[in-house]
Chain A
Amino acid sequence: MNKWNLIIDVAKCHDCNNCFLACKDEHCENDHLPYAAAQPRHGQRWIDLLPKERGQYPHVYVAYLPYTCMQCDNPECMQAAEDGAVYQRQDGIVIIDPLKAKGQKAIVDSCPYGVIWWNEALELPQKCTFCAHLLDEGWKEPRCVQACPTGALKFLSLEDAEMQQMAKSEGLEVWHADYGLEPRVYYRNLFRYNKCFVAGSVALKDMDECANGAQVTLLDSAGNVIDRLLTNNYGDFKFDGLGQDSGRYRLEVEYPGYKKQAVDLQVKESIGLGTIFL
């Protein structure tokens, strides 16, 4: 049985908010019963864009994390619900029944991802439905995916085994795998949001020039080489994907005819080193 999966490429999201606004357009003040009651005009973010700015000027990288109901295969909200108020469809989509769930605030509190919202006026927990009302009419994707101009959001109907295989071969990750809830939302290039980098520029002081092709080596605290690269023609380099608070590193910079330089680092967050002069 095929199930729906949302594949999000963090590298392609530019914060245009078309997904956010398409969701509002579809769901605000529109009841789609029996799938969902209308989303209030303000206060709920069925799809959200979480901004992340890494580094320091001028080595700054910005990413946005499209963030929505993870449509867990093993959902906490379903366990917290009474009277079967949350159920999972055969296509994997988790639905909060807008009639049965009335008054069940525990459903909101049960979600470790924080993507279930409380509608004060209707006394109703609400969340993204993957636009199930449209899929059942024959749509191949929800409104947010349709509105995405960069292809950051992709919607795929696959057997679970196929999806697992794809995730493995393409290096897709889920948000907080440690929760053990088996989400159907997968991320590509997630490191742009949740990992750190060390970046800088190398310049030749006597020439007043960028060092094009300088060799930069990143070593761990034990002196093992983690990665090695060459600076581009602006003298820039970046090592990405380092863990937050991952401790001590050493950076070595070499360029033919110049004295080698080393920089010792403590990585807490991303580091923009500015210019290293040889």
Chain B
Amino acid sequence: MQTTSGLLEFESSSLKKFVPSDEERPLIPKYIPSWEGHHTRELYSKYPLQLISPHPRFSFHTMGDAKDSYLNDVRDHRVLKEDGYYYWIIRVNASDALQRGIQDNDLVRVFNDRGTVICAAKLTDRLPPGTAHSYESCADYDPLGKPGESADRSGCINILTPARFITKDSSGMAPNSCLVEIAKLEPAPA
């Protein structure tokens, strides 16, 4: 057993030694409401969709994506729209999408206080209502206006995710504690 006591532990002896008083990582694991989630009432009322953003399935981090690669033509990687642009995909529960007047393959604004990313919506029942899914690490940044202050249309989902760590005493990132709202993009960019 690789614990410091060599035994199965209910209370972590190594945490007790190194970080005994981290309220966000107690010695005995317990449920803690997220600092950005459905318990954060004010934020949740503005941004009611929980965004999860795992590693991309078809590109390897940024490798292979964008740059006019034929990987862009993989149906579940990007969507080619009438304007000739390959948009990053956000997957949305079908009922959430329909409530917002969003149809399959529509361009949408995905946004919160951190910024806005333009994506193509894919409607699915593989996600429960109240959640959205889009891969992190697209390989381009394409702001419509001033960089850093305008919407990105290449799919930089990490614009939306929190910069903070899971706890102050660890270096674990927390991209899935992320609330967003999604709205149909009108009009579509020329």
Contact = CB atoms under 8 A, between A and B. Distances in A.
Given A17-B58, A41-B68, A57 B93 contact: yes
A41 B70 contact: yes
Interface in A1-60: 15, 17, 20-21, 24, 28, 41-42, 45, 48-49, 51, 53, 55-58, 60
Contacts of A42: 70, 72-73, 80
Contacts of A226: none
B70 A57 contact: no
B125 A55 contact: yes
Nearest to B80: A42
Interface of B is mostly: loop
Interface residues of B, number: 18
B75 interface: yes
A62 B76 contact: no
Interface magnitude class on chain A: 20 to 34
Nearest to A40: B70
A177 to B, nearest CB: 26
A133 B72 CA distance: 27
Contact of A51 (B68, B71, B76): B76
A21 B71 contact: yes
Interface string A248-263: 0000000000000000
Contacts of B75: 48-49, 51
Given A57-B127, A272-B125, 9 more contacts: A20-B74, A28-B70, A41-B70, A42-B72, A45-B73, A57-B125, A57-B128, A60-B124, A60-B126
The 9 A-B residue pairs with the shortest CB-CB distance in the complex, in nearest-first order? A57-B125, A24-B70, A17-B74, A60-B125, A56-B125, A60-B126, A41-B70, A57-B128, A42-B73
